[in-house]
Structure 1
């Protein structure tokens, strides 16, 4: 079979397809599936779906390898065979249409648009079969759970409700308060004495940009909230999904809802500007689109406003509850970054000292002295996962 090298982003999607993170998808989309996704947010059978999952390839490579409909190809990552794709379709697609429908813009400043315009001139559709399971490195292997393992965890912990918190950040007290607010929303009318509601912190691990938090710090800092007692053991779990953010705003929010449904979640937190970037979407566009499709989602959105610290109330709160707008102290990204960059232990009102300590430890151990992604980190970091070199 022809062997086709794939990128890290495609390898992430192969893993997610193979293990069922992207159910009902079982492979890369064909033209009809892409059309339905872009025009109606529907798969051919009417199922809600919002983001194209496609495999691109240049025409000359397709011809050189004699890839044809009805045949199969081996997808290789870093020289190791990873999966077999049974080719059902080879097609061209209008990249401008794909970008505009997915992101609502063709502005090249949008990272998703940039990704769309970088696609090669052909796409290959077909189901995939994983032939080489990934082996995760430390600390990732402690947080890797397949959808089936998420379901098993749900059963073992006797959780009837599970609320998902998506994150690409280390947690400050504003994030912590949001998770606790969401827990109460997900617990609904269940007796508080019956601790059968959990919070799943499902981090996104994927393409990193200089200035992002390093992945190791995200996972370990989120986890220390539980190990330090800020969440009980039986109400908190950290895991991750391999996914390269598209920053598609409202459409990506729908995608995240479907993804977390596949992990057994019954509820999903959605805050201000979920999955947005820059000023391409309004702050609550994602929540508005989710509201339109609430009846057909198999997960309940929990809509939250941005939290702040109020020195008058002496607590973390938000504009829905607190009337001291003029005294509000926001959890600005620049404030948190300056604290971590300067290695100045923050007040407990901003970040738990245990979280700060773990972030600093990760900076030293994994980040070449920084909790933020640098060029050096990108060049020298250990891979999140490796594959075995299988024989022919």
Structure 2
């Protein structure tokens, strides 16, 4: 069902089908969580114009040219990998289950192989197995199935996810009700410190332009990435609840701030993933997107602002969302405020927002100064640790093994 205009001039298409009575008779494949997330994302239009998983020509075009064969900008291949096809042939309609429950159907266009090491090198600019995206790619099965998908079972999200789940259509409906003309997307996979607040507020002013602030026409959408977690990451529930606390306690007005999430297992692809984030947020109705230092990067595989530079190579017609590029910020005790290297000259006195230092303080359950993290944010972080993280605000082996389900498919 065609809903909206997405990135460039691409239509956002929902791939949902509420009834498929022959599902029990189909050959079926049970998928892991990553593929379930991507099926849901494709079905609701987060990954428009994709209508399913990529064929060989689509993968090859994206890997080499960062475009689909029809010329539409697309930076990262989405592939459906399988070890065995179990008699499935091109042209078949198959059933897809997740944790044994019906999720979707797929029309099989093509079954193919692809050089995974080559894919990794082109997408991530390295073959180093220490890069999480490379590791994920090399761990794919040896066969891929390309074809369109339709969702037959809507996910039912558990608390606290249910409070923040919106489809692209629902995002746009909310923006319209709020009267927002400009929507600034803020990408995050972390609990917020005051440096994040600064970035959001600065971006709001950049996007708002000359609009009257009495009746705000610009809003900030914090769109949290929910997906595969690594040991030491913040737990998903804490990320959602602490970002919600910023407006709940008035640090950013609810008139201009809202929160949602996208199901996506981060690839840490740096500049290419920055482009993908822009496409996703364009599909849900955002007009601007914040890109900070080392956006979607990991380790030292990309230069600090490589995710900024890639947009110099992209024409406006290919991506209508407007990037807002922000530099690294820090707290300047002499200015008594949050600054960046362009705004003050007190280089020797800066106090940087060190993620590792902040994590060590949190692990000791020491409340950071309010100039680093709001006290209410810290309190909610500690509460989420007890309620969802088995005592820790960070991902542990126990959390990965016993965490609550993000969503369930119910009975069919």
- The normalised TM-score by structure 1 is 0.97
Deviation at 1:292, TM superposition (A): 1.9
Q: Distance in 2 between matches of 1:361 and 1:257?
A: 33
Q: Which residue of 2 aligns with 1:55?
A: 80
Q: Following the alignment from structure 1 to structure 2, what is the Cα–Cα distance between the partners of residues 286 and 386?
A: 35
Contact preservation (8 Å) 1:206, 1:245: yes
In 2: Cα distance, 1:298 partner to 1:44 partner: 20
Counterpart of 1:86 (choices 107, 130, 140) is 107
Match of 2:386 among 354, 357, 364: 364
Q: Are the counterparts in 2 of residues 163 and 267 from structure 1 also a CA contact under 8 Å?
A: yes
Alignment of 1:251-270 (within 5 A): 251-270=272-291
In structure 2, the CA distance between the partners of 1:44 and 1:257, relative to structure 1 (3 Å rule), is same
Match of 1:21 among 42, 46, 55: 46
Residues 253 and 290 in structure 1, CA contact (< 8 A), matched pair in contact too: no
Q: Return the alpha-carbon distance in structure 2 between the equivalents of residues 54 and 97 of structure 1.
A: 15
* Aligned-residue offset at 1:356: 0.5
1:312-345 CA distance string (max 9 Å, x none): 1000111010110100000001221122111111
Is 1:385 aligned with 2:410?
A: no
- Give the total of aligned pairs: 386
Structure 1 residue 72: Cα displacement: 1.0
CA-to-partner distance for each residue in 1:23-70, whole Å, 9 max, x for gaps? 000100001111111111111211100000000112xx21xx210111
Tell me, yes or no, if the aligned pair for 1:294 and 1:300 is still in contact at 8 Å.
no
Q: Residue in 2 aligned with 1:202?
A: 223
- Report the Cα distance in structure 1 between the residues aligned to 2:126 and 2:341, rounded to whole angstroms: 31
Q: Is 1:214 matched up with 2:265?
A: no
Contact 1:294 1:301 in 2 (8 A): no
1:358 match: secondary structure: helix
Correspondence for 2:180 among 149, 159, 162: 159
Q: 1:332 aligns with which of 346, 351, 354?
A: 354
SS in 1 for 2:255: helix
Matching of residue 104 in structure 1 with residue 125 in structure 2: yes
- 1:389 positional shift: 2.9
2:333 to 311, 334, 337: 311
Work out the CA distance in 2 between the residues paired with 1:134 and 1:185: 36
The equivalent position to 2:244 in structure 1, one of 223, 227, 241, is 223
For residues 69-98 of structure 1, what are the alpha-carbon distances to aligned partners after superposition, in whole Å with 9 as ceiling and x for unaligned? 110111110010100010001111011111
- How far apart in 2 are the matches of 1:180 and 1:293? 26
Taking structure 2 as the reference length, the TM-score comes to 0.93
- Looking at structure 2, the residues matched to 335 and 107 of structure 1 have their Cα atoms a distance apart, in angstroms, of 27
Q: Which runs of 5 or more structure 2 residues have no equivalent in the other structure?
A: 1-25
Quick one: distance in 1 between partners of 2:33 and 2:335?
47
The aligned residue for residue 249 of structure 1 is 270
Quote the Cα distance in structure 2 between the aligned partners of 1:388 and 1:125: 27
Q: What is the rounded CA distance, in whole Å, between the counterparts of 2:212 and 2:344 in structure 1?
A: 27
Structure 1: 4+ residue segments shifted above 6 A: none
Cα separation, 2, equivalents of 1:294 and 1:227: 39
Larger CA deviation: 332-341 vs 172-181: 332-341
Name structure 1 gaps, 5 residues minimum.
none
The CA distance in 2 between the partners of 1:73 and 1:389, in whole Å, is: 19
2:22 — aligned with what?
none
Q: Using the alignment, how far apart are the partners of 1:344 and 1:112 within structure 2?
A: 34
* CA–CA separation in structure 2 for the residues paired with 1:317 and 1:291: 26
